[in-house]
Structure 1
């Protein structure tokens, strides 16, 4: 009876110890906590890197927008200036009108090239956003497990919780909604419409 009473206090003391102290005294829990904290740090580093990549791609897209409008504005101004300063004879006007396909073709090819670049960069941005969302979900799952481990201490079931974490990652299915018109599609359509308008203005300037 006396021996039972002597063993009860250490047991009660072990149960009432702080979970972090319990983890520090348990090699497996301690190692797992260190591993998860290191993995969480790596995920946060990847999140920061993805965010900087997205910002860089968005700046490049903005530069393409600016270049598109500057290119066509300068081209139209130069054509208008050349048309105004040229001799007003009917022969030269007819010759310029016949050669209007040259600047029109250049403008069309340049427009298509810029539109393709914008579309490509937009797809890269979308892909990076999906990767960023996935990394944030991983960080959220891992943070939840770390908090549970710190809260439960040695009562944390390693096999069950680690298996649940792996299952949550493996069963995570990326949602693929039905393809609809997005802002990127409207931007592409807008740029194509502007390109057609520029072609019409080139024809009007050279053949007027």
Structure 2
């Protein structure tokens, strides 16, 4: 025999005190007085905020692309240096083997020593030139990236100021008012020391190239 049970619905009333109502009203007033609410109610400030946020996103993308480009250039320079060292190792191995198995006198030394040296210098000069061009490109991209980072920081500060001030923010203010941030870490001093530090790889390759030319003469006429 089925038993039926009466389901009773109980409604619990939560008493709302005056203090609770005041807290709710103050919270609503605080939300309405918030700068972001003021910006959402002002078409000019809202449009400016959206434009600046879009520029922030574009700056971030460009900086990310330049960082990837720097990584690519570093990899290319590394591979060129490896080719430079591998070429000299292979070149001197062949040179040593060929002249060790041949009879050489003073006449053949005077006649043949410049041939391997010219081959070595031509290949070395081409490699050093390519490395130097890659280094120039690297520092150009690096300088552009640092400039965009500084501009991105200036834009971010203006966006934060707009969010804090709300409708009281001056719409005529420009984030890039012709003044660029100057940082002592980014500022470049074009002197001999800084150039040597920037193009240290080129200086090292030129030194190795000079030593290789002397070694060609020595190994040919030894």
For 2:198 and 2:150, locate their aligned partners in 1 and report how far apart those are by CA, in whole Å: 25
- Ranked by relative contact order (alpha carbons within 8 Å, sequence separation 6 or more), the top structure is 1
Question: Which structure has greater helix proportion?
Answer: 1
In the TM superposition, 1:110-189 aligns within 5 A as: 110-159=123-172, 161-162=173-174, 165-167=175-177, 170-172=178-180, 175=187, 177-181=189-193, 182-189=196-203
For 1:15 and 1:89, locate their aligned partners in 2 and report how far apart those are by CA, in whole Å: 95
Q: Give CA deviations for 1:7-58 in whole Å, capped at 9, x if unaligned.
A: xxxxxx5996111111111100000011011110001000000000111111
In the TM superposition, 1:1-208 aligns within 5 A as: 17-86=33-102, 88=103, 90=105, 94-95=107-108, 97-159=110-172, 161-162=173-174, 165-167=175-177, 170-172=178-180, 175=187, 177-181=189-193, 182-208=196-222
For 2:140 and 2:121, locate their aligned partners in 1 and report how far apart those are by CA, in whole Å: 28
For 1:118 and 1:172, locate their aligned partners in 2 and report how far apart those are by CA, in whole Å: 32
For structure 1, the 5+ residue unaligned runs are 1-12
Indicate conservation of the 8 Å contact 2:70/2:141, yes or no: yes
Query: Any runs of at least 4 consecutive aligned residues in structure 1 with deviations exceeding 3 A, and if so which?
Result: 13-16, 173-176
Indicate conservation of the 8 Å contact 1:94/1:207, yes or no: no
Q: Which residue of 2 aligns with 1:9?
A: none
50-59 or 107-116: bigger deviation: 107-116
Q: TM-score, normalised by structure 2?
A: 0.78
For structure 2, the 5+ residue unaligned runs are 1-28
Q: Give CA deviations for 1:162-195 in whole Å, capped at 9, x if unaligned.
A: 2xx231xx23387552422232343323222211
Q: TM-score, normalised by structure 1?
A: 0.83
- The structure with more radius of gyration: 2
1:52 and 1:15, CA in 2 relative to 1: closer, same or farther beyond 3 A?
A: closer
Indicate conservation of the 8 Å contact 1:119/1:184, yes or no: no
Aligned-residue offset at 1:133: 0.4
For 2:104 and 2:42, locate their aligned partners in 1 and report how far apart those are by CA, in whole Å: 96
Task: Please give the root-mean-square deviation of Cα atoms over the aligned residues, in Å.
Answer: 2.3
